[in-house]
Amino acid sequence: MARDAATAADPILDGLDAMLPALEVLYKDLHSHPELSMQESRTAAVAAEQLRAAGFDVATGIGVTGVVGLLRNGDGPTVMLRADMDALPVEESTGLPYASKVTATDRTGHDVPVSHMCGHDMHVTWLAGAARLLAAARPAWRGTLLAVFQPGEETAEGARAMINDGLFARYPKPDVVLGQHVMVGPAGTVAGRAGAITSAADSLQIRLFGRGAHGSMPQASVDPVVMAAATVMRLQGIVSREVAAAEAAVVTVGALQAGTKENVIPDEAVIKLNVRTFDEGVRARVLAAIERIVNAEAQASGAPRQPEITALDSYPLNVNNRDASKRLVDAFRAHFGADRVRETGAAPASEDFGSFGTDWRVPSVFWFVGGTDPGVYDAAKKANRLNQLPVNHSPKFAPVLHPTLRMGVETLVVAARTWMPA
């Protein structure tokens, strides 16, 4: 693939063409060997070896399986680049020759299929490539580089685990924290925005308690199935009736579990739901409404005890620093051209990336790199079928290798260089 003028002008990117075949091999290897959240031992070992080969000081086992590489290169700013490593309990159906056939035991003891249907294998490959390019061209920049390979993003625990394991005490405070994600969009483009970039997310489990009885004698019961059904229907009114049209929220009930036999009214029912919001005030109102509705429906049903509401996981609102975002967008436009740098809306997906910048109290910027074949994307757009393209977490999600591999490495290098000039 021919290099564009901007790529050729940056000495750090001189070795990218020669590196691409090795990065493709690395990506396919990671894709074929996915690991569940907080179980990323093999992936972490691969990441650590990539960093050691580039000359980084490497620490492993931070936050269970996290990896950090430190490269000091004279006086200058400190930049943190982050990639997440974990895969999903999803059976891959891409049909790729290197598709995952892996199964693993999850934390509940169940055997599940595992695959990289969110693109974290691409993220690891990008950061490995960028780290090696920057290490090989030290005369072209100065400062300190932190390369962080994070576990457990899919369960919202990896960033917090690394922080709680002393990440901030062990490493210099960065001037900026940078990260990116492969998403549906034309490969060869980058998209982002100042302000909120990904939503806050809260997952809850609700246990509703009733009184069991024979199915032929419902008058002897307090039916938790009916209680759960009424609760689910009432929850749908939160977004449509309690959130203003100019605001945004999503309340999704993903599981309702009750009973095992058709003629037995069970003692309890379980609801699992997910909330997405882009404003802390909206988040607080939605969570309060859920609690109010759940308790009210239980009381209206005559439940023998109050429901139990348990938080399963929680992602912070991910907010891009405005000044740092402008600085980065200007650098991207200068390098790639304005036609390849797009502004996007806030994504309803969620990320724990924001924890690093928020807790360290430093600016952070997160952006998206397109991974869809441009021809496929354009055809779908013309046919008004963009919503039919396989998205992250779909069993068919498969970023096109080229130019996605190149683009993600370039964006990380350009971003780091924005704060670490020669």
Buried b (16+ CB within 10 A) or exposed e, 125-158: bbbbbbbbbbbebeebbebbbbbbbbbbbbbbbb
Calpha distance 341→368 (Å, rounded) = 10
Is 335 annotated to bind ligand? no
Is 31 annotated to bind ligand? no
CA dihedral 134, 139, 143, 144 (to 10 degrees): 40
Calpha distance 301→234 (Å, rounded) = 14
Total Cβ atoms within 10 A of residue 288: 12
Total Cβ atoms within 10 A of residue 9: 11
- Strand, coil or helix: 10: coil
Half-sphere exposure of 242 (CA within 13 A, CB side): 21
Is 110 annotated to bind ligand? no
Of the candidates 202, 201, 25, 231, which has an alpha carbon nearest to the alpha carbon of residue 128? 25
Q: DSSP letters of 176-241?
A: EEEEEEEEEEETT-EEE-SEEEE-EEEEEEEEEE-B-EETT-GGG-B-HHHHHHHHHHHHTHHHHH
Of the candidates 125, 123, 127, 104, which has an alpha carbon nearest to the alpha carbon of residue 114? 104
Is 120 annotated to bind ligand? yes
Is 116 annotated to bind ligand? no
> Would you say 33 and 43 are in contact if contact means Cβ atoms under 8 Å apart?
yes
Q: Which residues are annotated as a binding site for Mn(2+)?
A: 118, 120, 154, 181, 393
Give the residue numbers of the binding site: 118, 120, 154, 181, 393
